[in-house]
Structure 1
Amino acid sequence: MFHLLLHACLAAEPATCAERLLPAPAPLTEEECHSTAAERAAGWLLRHPELTAGPSRCAPTADLPQLPLKEIAPGLLVHEGQDGLPDTANRGEIANLGVVIGSQGIAVIDAGASRAQAESLFSAIRARSDLPIRALILTHMHPDHSFGADLFREAGAEILGAPRLAAGIEARAASWMESYPPQVGNGALLGTLMALPDRGTADERLELGGATLHLRAVATAHTDNDLTVFHAQSGTLFTGDLVFNELLPTLDGSVNGWLAWLDEPRPEVRRIVAGHGPAPLPWPDGAEATRTYLERLRTTVRAAIAAGQPMSVAIRDRDPAEAARWQAYDTSHPRNVSAAYAELEWE
């Protein structure tokens, strides 16, 4: 199996360059890769006016960078994201990603933080299977989970998400494209385009041949567009950022809704893959740290509101034990207090 690689540079920063992988929906021989290279590269560049093109080449799968994947059940693989919040060192690659390989096709759960990371995930998949990638399932809108989506659309996948995912991305696209490049570096995002889902789904089963996925949208919780993915054969639930492990939970939706989701019984679930941190975790114990943090957040913010404290005072709350427990506590907790205050003051 061969893949087209195109050397591209940022027109505004000619020294910022990288090879970009242009995936094909079906496997290509070396001859097919070379014979279609010029047309495919020209078409791709039309969608990327911010780039200038250099030479292209065709390479076998074994020569491509591949994202590490570990198999947690037959045909079920996970990539564990790096520690911390997005920065130039981790290039934003902090989210856990999933791959499900059935006998009739493949599904990907979350696309990573950039086209570059998605390319490495695609290469890792192709090192294991040449079956069609039928679906990319986005658990929610945030860039560390969704910014690699365009690569998988090019590879032939249908992009699925919660019914409100498209609106969530559209509402924040402009601010993300202003704030995210300085966080992770322009080079990390070279060739990255934000992609909207092809369709939203609230409750759907996806059959891949020996692998059944149940997609279910969630009422407003971590965000207003969360979606969980349940792998029936192994009893594994991909929670997206409805559960955090080691990295502090971040609130972009409803603390009440989030805790309500955590309280729902799920007897079919044996373990979970959280949005961040080592995976898998047992259910429900693996979500207990997230629950404890959110319960304390709600209790302290309600107390501050009852005492008449303004938000500017409430965000000074700091619990030393929680700070020691979570990565990025001092950065994210004040934002969580602000979001919870805005919600709870109207109770």
Structure 2
Amino acid sequence: MLHLVLTLCLAAEPGTCADRLLPTPLTPAACTAEAGARAAAWLADHPGLTLHGHRCAPLADLPALTLTRVAPGLFVHHGIAALPDQKNLGRIANLGVAIGQDAIAVIDAGASRAEAEALYAAIRARSDLPIRALILTHMHPDHSFGADLFREAGAEILGAPKLAAGIEARAEAWMDSYPAQVGHGALIGTRIALPDRGVAIGTLDLGGLVLDLTAEPTAHTDNDLTVFHAASGTLFTGDLVFNDLLPTLDGSVTGWLDWLDHPRPELRQIVPGHGPAPLPWPEGAKPTRTYLTRLADDIRTAIAAGRPMSEAIRHTHPEDAARWQGYAISHPRNASAAYAELEWE
């Protein structure tokens, strides 16, 4: 089987071009007969791009991410533990794949269509089973911006009940800021996709591999969703746990600490949203909990002393700065968010 690859350029920046994959395998005969029409139909649905040719390529020629097995049927692609920039193209999140006997589920879609395409190629190198679902652990671009590719591949996009509202509220701001952050070329063909269905509690049976989905109370965001594989005791936490990269607060610091403190004897290991994985539970979540506890304690102390937010957010800890990537940029934002929450306790 072959895959149709389009060479596309930004209409506003004709020198910024990239190859984009359409995730529908074709026979050689279909590629010859249908490639032009398929390319034209896709382009018509993606304004702002111009087509500079197309070709049919075998799977082996497609860029593919690396997948690491963490349990039977479960795989992880490790993102780069850093803040998104034009060097890493925003590819900083850990992405998961679950392969059952009947179907496949993807856990988070990456920071762009390009990253999602490379994840798709890695999946297809292992299995040609249908991709039934894309599960988004939360709204942030490094986890969600590749979603549209998997919808084209036939997946239903699932997320927490508040995911759609979270994405809609921020979509315009993200599309203004994110291209400059990771590079316009990195996002060619990328468009924001809303979930098809919100899930509070659900089960996904892929045939011999069952995933339990749970929408969590407000913590990292107000739309965190965890994915649990009971057979191996593996929990995909999304950004409820960070490793190496500093946790970022876009929800509730008290809610996040409550989640981290909740007993989970069924867990054996976790796949955090960022950094090396898997990690043992609860030990693997200890650095996240330690940072958030110190953050909350510092902000409560500042509020009790009558110090304004502008002063409180400047307070830092050298040990945290040495421990976490992105501390200098993300910690002041975390402190501001925590202050806004805790001053009303």
TM tier, shorter chain? over 0.9
The farther-off stretch of 52-61 and 130-139 is: 52-61
Offset of residue 97 of structure 1: 0.1
Offset of residue 75 of structure 1: 1.5
Offset of residue 92 of structure 1: 0.2
Matched, 1:22 2:22: yes
Long gaps (5+) in structure 2: none
1:24-173 map, 5 Å: 24=24, 27-173=25-171
What is the identity, as a one-letter code, of the residue corresponding to 2:159? G
How well do the aligned residues superpose, as a CA RMSD in angstroms? Answer: 0.8
Given candidates 228, 231, 236, the residue that maps to 1:230 is 228
Looking at structure 2, the residues matched to 184 and 295 of structure 1 have their Cα atoms a distance apart, in angstroms, of: 31
1:176-215 map, 5 Å: 176-215=174-213
Looking at structure 2, the residues matched to 48 and 255 of structure 1 have their Cα atoms a distance apart, in angstroms, of: 39
Local SS of the residue matching 2:285: helix
Looking at structure 2, the residues matched to 3 and 299 of structure 1 have their Cα atoms a distance apart, in angstroms, of: 54
Offset of residue 154 of structure 1: 0.3
Local SS of the residue matching 1:111: coil
Matched, 1:5 2:5: yes
Looking at structure 2, the residues matched to 99 and 206 of structure 1 have their Cα atoms a distance apart, in angstroms, of: 13
Looking at structure 2, the residues matched to 129 and 186 of structure 1 have their Cα atoms a distance apart, in angstroms, of: 32
- TM-score under structure 2 normalisation? 0.99
Q: How big is each residue's C-alpha offset from its partner over 1:222-242, in whole Å with a ceiling of 9 and x where there is no partner?
A: 000000001122111000000
Offset of residue 55 of structure 1: 1.2
Looking at structure 2, the residues matched to 121 and 236 of structure 1 have their Cα atoms a distance apart, in angstroms, of: 21
Looking at structure 2, the residues matched to 22 and 313 of structure 1 have their Cα atoms a distance apart, in angstroms, of: 51
Matched, 1:220 2:218: yes
Looking at structure 2, the residues matched to 262 and 250 of structure 1 have their Cα atoms a distance apart, in angstroms, of: 15
Offset of residue 54 of structure 1: 1.4
Structure 1 stretches of 4+ with a deviation exceeding 6 A read none
What is the identity, as a one-letter code, of the residue corresponding to 2:341? E
Offset of residue 83 of structure 1: 2.4
For 2:252, the equivalent position in structure 1 comes to 254
Aligned length: 345
Local SS of the residue matching 2:126: coil
Looking at structure 1, the residues matched to 149 and 14 of structure 2 have their Cα atoms a distance apart, in angstroms, of: 23
Given candidates 265, 288, 304, the residue that maps to 2:286 is 288
Query: Do 1:67 and 1:124's aligned partners in 2 also have CA atoms closer than 8 Å?
Result: yes
Query: Do 1:105 and 1:133's aligned partners in 2 also have CA atoms closer than 8 Å?
Result: yes
Q: How big is each residue's C-alpha offset from its partner over 1:222-279, in whole Å with a ceiling of 9 and x where there is no partner?
A: 0000000011221110000000000000000000000011111111110000000000
Long gaps (5+) in structure 1: none
Local SS of the residue matching 1:145: helix
Offset of residue 33 of structure 1: 2.9
Looking at structure 2, the residues matched to 33 and 237 of structure 1 have their Cα atoms a distance apart, in angstroms, of: 41
Offset of residue 74 of structure 1: 1.9
Looking at structure 2, the residues matched to 166 and 30 of structure 1 have their Cα atoms a distance apart, in angstroms, of: 39
Looking at structure 2, the residues matched to 202 and 263 of structure 1 have their Cα atoms a distance apart, in angstroms, of: 21
For 1:265, the equivalent position in structure 2 comes to 263
- TM-score under structure 1 normalisation? 0.98
The farther-off stretch of 42-51 and 254-263 is: 42-51
Offset of residue 9 of structure 1: 0.4
Looking at structure 2, the residues matched to 130 and 30 of structure 1 have their Cα atoms a distance apart, in angstroms, of: 17
Looking at structure 2, the residues matched to 196 and 159 of structure 1 have their Cα atoms a distance apart, in angstroms, of: 8
Query: Percent identity over the alignment?
Result: 73
What is the identity, as a one-letter code, of the residue corresponding to 1:211? L
Looking at structure 2, the residues matched to 309 and 47 of structure 1 have their Cα atoms a distance apart, in angstroms, of: 52
